[in-house]
Amino acid sequence: MSLTQGMTAKKLLGYYQNKADQDAREAKARGDLVCWSASVAPSEFCVTMGIAMIYPETHAAGIGARKGAIDMLDVAARKGYNIDCCSYGRVNMGYMECLKETAITGKKPDVLVNSPAADVPLPDLVITCNNICNTLLKWYENLAKELNIPCIIIDVPFNHTMPVSRHNKEYIADQYRAAIKQLEDITGRAFDYDKFFKVQEQVQRSVYWWNKVATYAQRKPSPLNGFDLFNYMALIVCARARDYAEITFHKFADELEAKDAAGQYAFGAPENEKHRVTWEGIAVWTYLGATFKGLKNQGAVMTGSAYPGLWSLVYTPGDLESMAEAYTNVYINTCGPNRYEEFYKVVKNSKSDGIVLHLNRSCKLMGLLNNEGAEYVNAKMGVPYVSFDGDQTDPRVFTPAQYETRVQALAEIMEQNAQESAN
């Protein structure tokens, strides 16, 4: 009997999150290679080569959610990493410094012993790309320099026009071929294209069920609390090339279908869902519960977010240019008009009455574009929006009182709009 048989989706999520980290630890113990990868870098190549994967952004988010970010941020600060750098990067650099010290001295520093951070090994190589931000390039170059390990960079051009141009797809496909050659040189083994095709197929099955789960938030009332997508996102990031994600999301979709059929919704009875909102921006991992409860207290369920859609990586297995298009077509790598129209679709399809914007100190460009996107949607649909200051993993930036005030104001506007529509 399988260990996972009969598990709920929530239990599967925890099990496979831990298993992914365990896979990496066991690989390291065997002397096999471990790679640290950017979240929307293609994992297909390393998985095909049998290289274990760790994702620093997801790992840092987990540290933040477990209230351990400050210690790692302090380590990074002492090493000279400026507070204006991305907090994901700073948490990761702090953790990396702790692992370095452990490797050199044979003893874990106290800050690591006492940390709630998931135990992951140092990498033997890193891989990144710039389809979500250019910060990743310098972050991973720094990791490679500090650890004296190979760095694979896949350059993904920004799409100033849409659809994605043919020469951009060809250029990225050539980048993929170069990455494959680098991996062959690093491992001393030939790339197995038959296995690569099977890995691509697995990614597509995982993405299918991820997208399927997200559609349940579009139902009214919604059986899915959109904040759950932030939690389950760990597997679409870290395990989309394995069956871990497919199994978990399939189970979650079945549970949501059953809840909907039974009249069981995110907030219980249908009348408890007073408002529906779209959340734009990265989650505030250090205050995930507080941000969820702040909305729930106003009867507002999160039914839309463009952020989880970054991993809607739909392509044709066996076609490198199709894969290239999927990884460059993420909405934050496209020109303003296209990005704003995609955001409009999120708000419309989720039947949202309002928008909450996270003005993320660690991601200032995203914050600016989020605001412009909300203005675009407001002009097109009349949907109101509010914003609040925060950070993805630095808890010192977020103020619960400010957030509460902003979402309360949004709730009042949404209530007024609902009354006017009813009259």
Which architecture, in CATH terms, is 23-176? 3-Layer(aba) Sandwich (3.40)
pLDDT, tens digit, 9 for 90 and up, residues 282-316: 999 999 999 999 999 999 999 999 988 889 999 99
pLDDT, tens digit, 9 for 90 and up, residues 56-106: 999 999 999 999 999 999 999 999 999 999 999 999 999 999 999 999 999
Kindly list the domain boundaries of the chain, sorted by start residue: 23-176
- Find how far residue 188's CA is from the centre of its chain: 32
Q: What is the mean pLDDT of residues 313-342?
A: 93
Other CB atoms within a 10 A radius of the CB of residue 105 amount to 9
* Residues facing 35 on adjacent strands: 53, 125
Helix, strand or coil for residue 303? strand
Q: What is the pTM of this model?
A: 0.95
pLDDT, tens digit, 9 for 90 and up, residues 243-257: 999 999 999 999 999
Averaged pLDDT of the chain: 95
Among all chains, which residue has been given the structure tokens 């989720």?
Answer: 350
Please check the confidence at residue 1 and state whether its pLDDT lies above 50: no
pLDDT at 324: 97
pLDDT at 207: 97
Dihedral sign, CA of 330, 14, 140, 88?
Answer: positive
pLDDT at 363: 86
pLDDT at 190: 98
pLDDT, tens digit, 9 for 90 and up, residues 182-225: 999 999 999 999 999 999 999 999 999 999 999 999 999 999 99
Residues 6+ apart with CB under 8 A from 31: none
Q: What is the mean pLDDT of residues 342-369?
A: 90
Cβ atoms of 303 and 218 closer than 8 Å: yes
